A = this chain, B = another copy of it.
Amino acid sequence: MQSLSPLQLFRLTYQPKLPFLLNSLHSLAPIEIGHKREIEDLTLKNLFPETFEQPFLSFKKGEESDSFPALKIGVVLSGGQAPGGHNVISGLFDALKKLNPNSQLIGFCNGPNGILKNQIMEITSSLLAHYRNQGGFDLIGSGRTKIETLDQFQTASKTIKDLDLDGLVIIGGDDSNTNAAFLAEYFKQNNIKTTVVGVPKTIDGDLKNEWIETSFGFDTASKIYSEIIGNILKDSLSAKKYYYFIKLMGRSASHLTLECALQTHVNLALISEEVEEKKQSLSNLISQIVEMIVQRAMQGKQYGAILIPEGIIEFIPEFKEMIQELNALLAPHHPYFQQFNRLKDKVSKVKDVSQQLSLDASQCFNSLPLDIQMQLLLDRDPHGNVQVSKIEIERLFIHLVEQELNIRKEKGQYDGKFAAQSLFCGYEGRSGLPTNFDCQYCYSLGHVAALLLSAKASGYMSCVNHLTQPVEEWSLSGIPIFSLLHLEVREGKQKAVIRKALVDLKGKPFAVFASQRENWKMADDYCCPGPIQFMGPSEIADTPPLTLIYETWKT
């Protein structure tokens, strides 16, 4: 059993504010709002014969009703942790009980695998009392198993029928919500009564679109990282000794990096989406950083910090190519790999590997330090693919920057001292105590999920809007997940997926960043957001992410 710190105990008693509308839970009726998705592609439509015509729903106050039947609902957490998960569950629980005290909530243990294996626990009021407003996913656990094959659908259906579930809430990211749509469709086709509802979760912030303003957990994670980055900037300015190369978690999109840059005014932040659009090569990025270091040195400043999004590698053209070639070359069935794998002294064979690559890829490979080359060759997933997230890109950047600075030194173009430290802002951001914003957002999302279940709106995602307004004014809706799906080729196959929302280079948050960054490079205009505060004035304790605020700025 876990101990609770004084702050954890205090947070247990926090009562998240609710939108006004949710105070009249019994009189909220789903209303179809005009919009319906135009379908360009029959393939997509054919995958969802039962659900492709679902309308967008909004919840408005109507007649009060007492006719909410008791529901038996299952809930599952899918994928990486995001602060606020427990509040989705407590919002769902409270709303279900308010609508009908005889309703029941069942948690599937350790992610979707818990559905396949029928591993469950009943979520009771007394159990939940230990998890309200707490971080982590430890009430029921999470996992990365996906329910996407026919076989898995059948196994899941068996569990769900055995349990006689009226509804299933899937709390997850883009893939988990896609699978929720397929499961909803499958249930309808097979006359299974269970309503499937999704909830948008991910600290990466890449599950967002016209309707979903942000995914939960992004606010807390970005604030935890911004605290660390702000402290580092202050330290760098005080000691005037180090450049910090800070890698930030977040698979593809650079939302976290952009948010943290806006929060802290770090000297330089690389945005993967920009790297891709401008086709910036690795040497190009290194030059950018070196240029700044040289200029700052001329002003006597030999310190600073640089943010690097974890996923950047896959956006650098020559890196992407090299990884593809390595993946092919070192696939488990490839004779070359088998030969390489048997070698004891792999270090001696590294040069040999590079000779098997195309000229471009080989050049890229040879420019890397030995330890990164070894990471590329040895840290591979079961399919033989390079594990991009394991590559220590922050160290690679330090190595290459140092190399380039030495060249400039020899040419007499640079005369400074360069000392660097690397840092990874990662796992500590996924399970922290959720901010007031995430607590309230998640608690509302849970309520809306309960309303969607009551309305038997299967294949919908719970959605809360106007998040930069006071909580009381937030509005509530249900988004047909189908409306978010697009066909994409993944691993050689055409698949219906929710497109990951990347940073919009034409959007306002990026524009604000772009308008400031030249200044931030030189001016040490550092800002320390400090630790997340749960009490005190609203502008300190309750603010939503800056990117969200900028997005809703009127032009």
Q: Chain A: residues with CB nearer than 8 A to chain B?
A: 1-8, 10-11, 80-81, 110, 134-138, 141-142, 224, 227-228, 230-232, 234-235, 237-240, 242, 244, 263, 265, 347, 370-371, 421, 423-424, 426-433, 523-537, 539-540, 543
A530 touches B81 (CB 8 A): no
Complex partner residue of A227 from B423, B526, B531, CB under 8 angstroms: B531
6 A-B pairs with CB atoms under 8 Å apart are A3-B526, A4-B527, A5-B263, A134-B528, A136-B235, A138-B234
Residues of B contacting A529 with CB < 8 Å?
Answer: 5, 7
Q: Separation in Å of the A10 CB from the closest CB of chain B? A: 6
Cα-based distance from A135 to B526 in the complex (angstroms): 12
Closest B residue to A223 using CB positions:
B531
Q: Separation in Å of the A171 CB from the closest CB of chain B? A: 13
Cα-based distance from A224 to B429 in the complex (angstroms): 13
Residues of B contacting A231 with CB < 8 Å?
Answer: 135, 224, 427-432
Closest B residue to A11 using CB positions:
B530
A527 touches B2 (CB 8 A): yes
Cα-based distance from A4 to B232 in the complex (angstroms): 15
Known: A370-B347, A428-B231. A137 touches B7 (CB 8 A): no
Cα-based distance from A418 to B371 in the complex (angstroms): 22
Known: A6-B539, A540-B6. A432 touches B530 (CB 8 A): yes
Q: How many copies of this chain does one complex carry?
A: 2
Complex partner residue of A524 from B2, B4, B428, B530, CB under 8 angstroms: B2
B238 touches A81 (CB 8 A): yes
Residues of B contacting A423 with CB < 8 Å?
Answer: 424, 427-428
Residues of B contacting A371 with CB < 8 Å?
Answer: 371
Known: A224-B231, A432-B231, A527-B2. A237 touches B138 (CB 8 A): yes
Q: Separation in Å of the A31 CB from the closest CB of chain B? A: 37
Output the residue of A110, A235, A534 with the most chain B CB within 10 A.
A235
Q: Separation in Å of the A264 CB from the closest CB of chain B? A: 9
Cα-based distance from A209 to B434 in the complex (angstroms): 39
Give 7 nearest A-B pairs by CB, closest first.
Answer: A531-B531, A235-B431, A136-B234, A234-B431, A137-B238, A7-B530, A3-B527
Residues of B contacting A11 with CB < 8 Å?
Answer: 530
Closest B residue to A530 using CB positions:
B7
Residues of B contacting A427 with CB < 8 Å?
Answer: 231-232, 235, 242, 244, 421, 423
Cα-based distance from A244 to B428 in the complex (angstroms): 11
Closest B residue to A81 using CB positions:
B238
B234 touches A142 (CB 8 A): no
B239 touches A81 (CB 8 A): yes
Complex partner residue of A433 from B6, B134, B524, B528, CB under 8 angstroms: B528
B5 touches A527 (CB 8 A): yes
Known: A5-B527, A6-B539, A530-B7. A240 touches B135 (CB 8 A): no
Cα-based distance from A532 to B370 in the complex (angstroms): 41
B1 touches A523 (CB 8 A): yes
Residues of B contacting A228 with CB < 8 Å?
Answer: 228, 428
Cα-based distance from A244 to B81 in the complex (angstroms): 16
Known: A3-B265, A431-B231. A142 touches B244 (CB 8 A): no
Given contacts A2-B524, A141-B238, 7 further A-B contacts (CB under 8 A): A7-B540, A80-B239, A136-B237, A142-B239, A231-B431, A244-B427, A423-B424
Cα-based distance from A528 to B428 in the complex (angstroms): 11
Known: A3-B527, A5-B529. A81 touches B235 (CB 8 A): yes
B141 touches A530 (CB 8 A): no
Cα-based distance from A534 to B537 in the complex (angstroms): 12
Residues of B contacting A5 with CB < 8 Å?
Answer: 230, 263, 527-530
Closest B residue to A3 using CB positions:
B527
A238 touches B431 (CB 8 A): yes
